[in-house]
A and B are shown apart, each in its own frame.
Chain A
Amino acid sequence: MILQHIEIENFRNHKSTSFDCSSGVNLFYGDNGEGKTNILESISYFCLTRSFYALSDSIVAKADENGFTATGCLKSDCGVQYEVQIKYNRDINQKIITVNKSKVDKASALIGWFPAVILSQEQGAITYGSPGDRRKFVDFVLSQSSRKYLDNLIEYRKILKQRNRILADIQTGRIRNKEEVEVWNESLIKTGTSIINKRKEFTKNFQKLVIEAYSQISGNSELPKILYSPSFNCSEENEDNTEDFFKKALENQSLTEQKIGFTMVGPHRDDFLLQINEMEAKNFASQGQHKTLLVALKMAEFFYLKNACNETPLLLLDDVLSELDEKRCNKLIKSAVCKGQVFITSTDKHALNGLSPDVIANVRKYLIKRGRIERVEEEAKIN
């Protein structure tokens, strides 16, 4: 998939910006706070219907305006043209999404249509951070590649909210009948089981991609591993008995749950263990290993999505070039650029110079100043 043209209006500090993108590498450079990341944010709207930074759409609209418009022209791998438009109105807090002028009813319907892999500084939390950060990563990949997973996830969150409300009411003594919790167990188990089984299947397939990417980057014999660690004991291979294990775990925890007032087991408490040579990365990996693992995970994500969505994802790198060194960048960008498109922000115009010639060929550089594109330079293709 190639993003050919972007048009944004009243988007963050961009009053009105419109430009054609290179089908290879796009580098946005300029000083801090000039509006580089904002362009990546607009791309994330086309792919995910929301910003990968801001928690709400209202923050994204320009301060003195009451909404924003973002339009992107995309061409899929098989050559179909799409025009995606996101129109947000702050007054009524309404977001209208259209694809080729026809309205998309639910925002979730657009997710996975135009897959994207995003690497920003916050993503370092995947290897450093809490289980929640890793769940977010896996959910992010699976939601883009499986509509059923996304639907199940949304449904599971609704059920969880209802069930937690009962538990909170029991804890504070406001409720009534303790059997009411059990009413929600069945839905929780049913939806939760399909999420867990999908995560089991995912970790198995993803593992291979991570190993391959890691060895490509590091060039040594370290063996990375991603292991699924559900919130309760259940066999890794067998999918049929997940439901029974889930049920049993809920029964075992029921008294504790009533005491603390929320649901203790289920996909929302899962973790994914990242290991290098059988040692947990979070506690034992060096700075360099962390970075290599992160890039390997992102490369694996790229190839997983490419395969699952039948579409080459866009790669967005937000201010990470200086963090990762040239060797890692080379591999990551190279894997994306051979068929896809890369969008990079950096404060350094020459950020890409250290990369190998086949990577930096076909680069378009944009100087961003005060929410405007000041200058566009094309790097000649080197053959």
Chain B
Amino acid sequence: MFYTAESIEQLAEQFAQLPGIGRKTAHRLALYILKMPREEVETLAKALVNVKDKVRYCSICSNITETDPCSICSNTKRERASICVVEEPHDVIAIEKTHEFKGLYHVLGGALSPLDGIGPDDLKIKELLQRFSNTTIDEVILALNPNVEGEATTLYLSKLLKPLGMKVTRIARGLPVGSDLEFADEATLTRALEGRIAV
């Protein structure tokens, strides 16, 4: 039974499918769109379709991009001898924000998780290996999430890559900068202790 109009209900239904949006918020958004000027709604609709039409995966690093190869892969100033492997495109954004890494990326598109039906063939691993046949790579940095799935993927990749003769590293796990030691949870603190380095 509709309390409003069918098209409002339909729009709300669509919003409700988005992550983090409940039924109430979906209705509020739908009613807000109704109040927006027509041009703005058109711009929004266009933007939505554009994302689908224009954005694709970079043929080299599998990151999302509008131009292929992506802006990072085609940037001549970047060091081509090191590759940072991450799970998702937003991980690239996170690392880019540091301005510390000057090399290239490779986006796997997830991590190994049989429970979700994700095996090695579902990740961009073949594409990663392909990259080594074309250019010389000195170092591969594995920057995957510190959970069970990310860990398994890290171990799997290091096993695949080490025989190829390059340096394979993984990012450190430990304490967040600027925090207090006393507020760190025990798991993080244990990892930090295990990964201690000489000063």
Contacts and interface: CB of A to CB of B under 8 A. Distances in A.
Interface of A: 105-106, 109, 147-148, 151, 155, 158-159, 161-163, 165-166, 169, 175-177, 180, 183-184, 186-187, 190
Given A177-B121, A184-B112, A184-B114, 15 more contacts: A147-B187, A148-B187, A151-B190, A155-B148, A159-B152, A162-B115, A162-B149, A163-B114, A166-B119, A175-B119, A180-B119, A186-B152, A186-B156, A187-B151, A187-B155
A272 B121 CA distance: 41
Nearest to B155: A186
| A-B interface, 10 closest residue pairs, ranked by CB to CB distance from nearest | A165-B114, A147-B186, A186-B155, A158-B148, A183-B156, A166-B114, A187-B152, A151-B187, A162-B114, A180-B119
Contacts of A105: 185
Contacts of B149: 162
A84 B152 CA distance: 37
A98 to B, nearest CB: 16
Interface footprint category on B? 10 to 19
A155 B187 CA distance: 11
A147 B190 contact: yes
A157 to B, nearest CB: 9
Nearest to B159: A186
A176 B114 CA distance: 12
A128 B190 CA distance: 37
Nearest to B149: A162
Contacts of A180: 114, 119-120
A36 to B, nearest CB: 35
Contacts of A161: 115
B121 A176 contact: yes
B67 interface: no
B113 interface: yes
7 contacts: A151-B187, A162-B112, A177-B120, A183-B156, A186-B152, A187-B148, A187-B151
B187 A183 contact: no
B55 to A, nearest CB: 30
Given A105-B185, A106-B185, A183 B121 contact: no
Nearest to A158: B148
A147 B120 CA distance: 32
A96 B149 CA distance: 27
Contacts of A162: 112-115, 148-149, 152
A183 B185 contact: no
Contacts of B190: 147-148, 151
Nearest to B185: A109
Contact of B148 (A147, A159, A183): A159
Contacts of B155: 183, 186-187, 190
Given A159-B148, A162-B148, A169-B114, A177 B187 contact: no
A163 B115 CA distance: 9
Nearest to B114: A165
Contacts of A163: 114
Interface string B159-194: 100000000000000000000000001110010000
A106 B187 CA distance: 11
A23 B113 CA distance: 50
A176 B121 CA distance: 10
Nearest to A169: B114
Contacts of B152: 159, 162, 183-184, 186-187
Nearest to B160: A183
Nearest to B156: A183
A96 to B, nearest CB: 17
A183 B122 CA distance: 14
A161 B114 CA distance: 9
Contacts of B187: 147-148, 151
Contacts of B156: 183, 186
Which residue of A162, A165, A184, A190 has the most chain B CB atoms within 10 A of its CB atom?
Answer: A162
A274 B114 CA distance: 37
A169 B119 CA distance: 12
Contacts of A175: 119
Given A106-B185, A147-B190, A162-B148, A183 B115 contact: no
Contact of A176 (B115, B119, B148, B185): B119
Nearest to A105: B185
Contacts of A184: 112, 114, 152
Interface string B46-62: 00000000000000000
A105 B187 CA distance: 13
Nearest to B187: A151
A106 B148 CA distance: 17
Contact of A151 (B115, B151, B159, B186): B186
A159 B151 CA distance: 10
Contacts of A176: 119, 121
Interface in B65-119: 112-115, 119
A177 B120 CA distance: 9
Contacts of B121: 176-177
Which residue of B152, B155, B185 has the most chain A CB atoms within 10 A of its CB atom?
Answer: B152
A147 B189 CA distance: 11
Contacts of B185: 105-106, 109
Contacts of A169: 114
A215 to B, nearest CB: 36
A265 B5 CA distance: 60
